[in-house]
Amino acid sequence: MFERILIVVAHPDDEILGCGGLIARNRKKSEFRIVFIAEGSSCRYMKNERDEISKAISERTNQAIKSLNLMGILDVHFTNLECGKLDQVPILEMNREIEKHILEFQPDTVISHSSKDTNSDHRRVAEATLMATRPGAMNYVANVFACEILSSSEWAFSEAFLPNYFLPLSKEHLDLKISSLLIYESEVKTFPFPRSPRGLTTLAQYRGMQSAHEYAEAFQAIRLIEK
C-alpha cells in the first residue's frame, strides 16, 4: 500500500504545502508522480502584461522542479491551464488529463485537494480528481486522499478541514518540507502568514498533538482499502 502515489494539485507549491511531509518521509520507498493542473501565477497580472506573465510562469515552473528535485522527485508534469480560471474549464478536460496520468502511472494512491478549500481552483481540481478515481472506472484507484493547503483550507471557516488520517513526521521530514517550500520565493511570507516556516511548523505541531506525535501531516481519507 502507498507504493505508487499520484499527487494532483492546482498550483506549484500546493504539493509541498499539502504533501511535503509525506514526500519527505516516503521519498526513498514510494514512487511519486506530481501533476500540476494550473500554472499558478497569471492571475496576479493584467492580461496585457504578457512578458511579466510568461516570466512568472517560467520562474514558478523552475522553482517547482528545483523544490521537488530536492526531495528526489523527478516525475513532474505541468498542464499549465490558466490560473484562477479553472471554474471556466470544462470539467471533462481536467478529468481526462488526470485519467491519462492514472492510466500511465498506475498509482495505488491518489492525493488531491479538499473540496471545501476557499480557493476555487483547488475545489475544481478536487472535483475532477474524484471523477477520475470513481469506483467502477477502468482507472480505479484503491486509495484516495484530500490534503490541506495552508492559506486555503484553514480559511474555510464554516467548513473546516476535518482530517481522519495522520502521518507522523520527524524533525528531519519537517525541515525538508520547509526547505522545499522556501524555494518558492514568491509564495513565502513572514508569519503570521500561513505559508511560512513558522506556519508549517505550527500546523505540523498541531496535527502532531492531535495524533500523539511531535509532528504530523494530516489528510482526509476519502477511500482507503487495506490489502
pLDDT of 79-95, one tens digit each? Answer: 999 999 999 999 999 99
The pLDDT score that the predictor gives to residue 215 is: 98
CA distance 18 to 143: 17
Separation in Å, CA 212 to CA 166, 167, 174, 208: 10, 11, 16, 6
- Tell me which residues of the chain have a pLDDT lower than 70: 1, 42, 45-46, 48-49, 137-139, 227
The pLDDT score that the predictor gives to residue 137 is: 63
pTM here is 0.95
The pLDDT score that the predictor gives to residue 56 is: 84
CA distance 15 to 26: 14
The pLDDT score that the predictor gives to residue 48 is: 61
pLDDT of 96-111, one tens digit each? Answer: 999 999 999 999 999 9
Show me where the domains of the chain are located: 4-223
Where does residue 40 fall: left (phi above 0), alpha (psi -120 to 50 degrees), or beta otherwise?
A: left
The pLDDT score that the predictor gives to residue 53 is: 76
The pLDDT score that the predictor gives to residue 135 is: 84
Beta pairing partners, 33? 6
CB–CB of 64/40 below 8 Å?
A: no
The pLDDT score that the predictor gives to residue 57 is: 87
Class of domain 4-223: alpha beta
The string of DSSP codes covering 104-153 is HH--SEEEEE-TT-SSHHHHHHHHHHHHHT-TTSTT--SEEEEE--TTTG
The pLDDT score that the predictor gives to residue 131 is: 93
